[in-house]
Amino acid sequence: MGEKAELYRFPLHEDLSLLFSQKSNGRLASDRDTSVTDMPYFNYTDYLHGSIDYGFSFQNSDVKNELAVDVTGGGHSNNLSGAGTGPLTPNSSISSSSCEANGDEEQGRYKKADKMKLEEDREEDKGDDEDCDKSKKVQKPRKKGEKRQREPRVAFMTKSEVDHLEDGYRWRKYGQKAVKNSPYPRSYYRCTTPKCTVKKRVERSYQDPSIVITTYEGQHTHQSPATLRNSNWMTARNFSAVAPALGRDLMMQQLFHPMMGSSTTSHPLLGAIANPNIYLPSVSAAPSPLQAHQLLNSDHGLLQDIIPGQFIKTNP
């Protein structure tokens, strides 16, 4: 397979698996080659200013291609709606997630409070819940009218042979479910760090089994263990691992401030590296993935000062 750097971006959709099974803009995304490119997109500006930025790159020997994704504007709801860019395509299937992501702010707050409460309850359960009837309920009942709160989600699609990609954090698998219309199960992971409520779902695209869809929910409240272990945190692995724990601007500043005049880089490629959610080909003045790759190579001297060599993937 011709391995070239690929950056995909995704519509605002809660369940990425639907990308391959549902209609996109009224058209069945049955053609795997077009299932991504036919998606309604954000523009470059949206990615820089709107969506959450979980800059992940999986450095894994089994990772063939690295894909960047964005699922929801999530907790940064105001970014999406406030920007007024209206990244959502009206007739796309992303409306539900947009509600989740940036819809009713009141509800969002409400949900968040509920989630926090649930987490607290869970903590308390371990301590003083001896008198609780454990034999009956697996989960605690909620008060009426309260809905389960969802953290903002960000998904990544990675071409990989392994399901669980190393991202610098430690995860404990807590569930696995068969996915409807897919032969591949979906795995549920939770960050093992105490007090960190980040979860991730890992599933394989049934349209393209070589693609692993990883959906992150929540934000880490800590640095990645990999970062702590390695003083030189700007390794490829740590770069990617730390990214989710850092705010976009902070990350951009830390990574590129010495080189860039502003946090939003004027170099599309660097922007893409800092923000893999950017789908380069969609940017009018941006290079194609191949061009980007070539640019990466040609700019290596410059980039190596910023990006570790191993982070800049090259064709085998």
| Least distance (Å) between residue 148 CB and DNA | 5
| Least distance (Å) between residue 25 CB and DNA | 20
Q: Which is nearer to DNA, 139 or 231 (CB)?
A: 139
| Least distance (Å) between residue 70 CB and DNA | 17
Phi, psi of 293 (to 5 degrees): -65, -45
- Under DSSP, the state recorded for 243 is G
* Pairing state between β 153-160 and 171-178: unpaired
Considering only residues 180, 183, 231, 261, which one is a binding residue for DNA as defined by CB under 7 A? 180
Phi, psi of 275 (to 5 degrees): -130, 85
Binding-site size, DNA (CB under 7 A): 36
Q: Which two tokens stand for residue 141?
A: 């009942």
Nearest to 195 by CA among 122, 111, 110: 122
Considering only residues 42, 56, 171, 279, which one is a binding residue for DNA as defined by CB under 7 A? 171
| Least distance (Å) between residue 124 CB and DNA | 12
How many CB atoms lie under 10 A from the CB of residue 247?
A: 14
Site for DNA in 124-163 (CB under 7 A): 125, 134, 136-142, 146-148
Stretch that binds DNA, among 4-12, 63-71, 167-175, 266-274 (CB under 7 A): 167-175
The count of residues in the chain is 316
Three-class secondary structure assignment of 200-221:
EEEEECCCCCCEEEEEEECCCC
| Least distance (Å) between residue 201 CB and DNA | 6
Is position 189 an interface residue for DNA (rule: CB under 7 A)? yes
* Pairing state between β 185-191 and 199-204: antiparallel
Q: Which two tokens stand for residue 93?
A: 């299937």
| Least distance (Å) between residue 190 CB and DNA | 7
Interatomic CA distance for residues 93 and 205, integer angstroms: 18
Q: Which is nearer to DNA, 142 or 229 (CB)?
A: 142
Is position 109 an interface residue for DNA (rule: CB under 7 A)? no
List contacts with DNA (CB under 7 A): 14-15, 17, 122, 125, 134, 136-142, 146-148, 164, 170-180, 186-190, 192, 199, 201
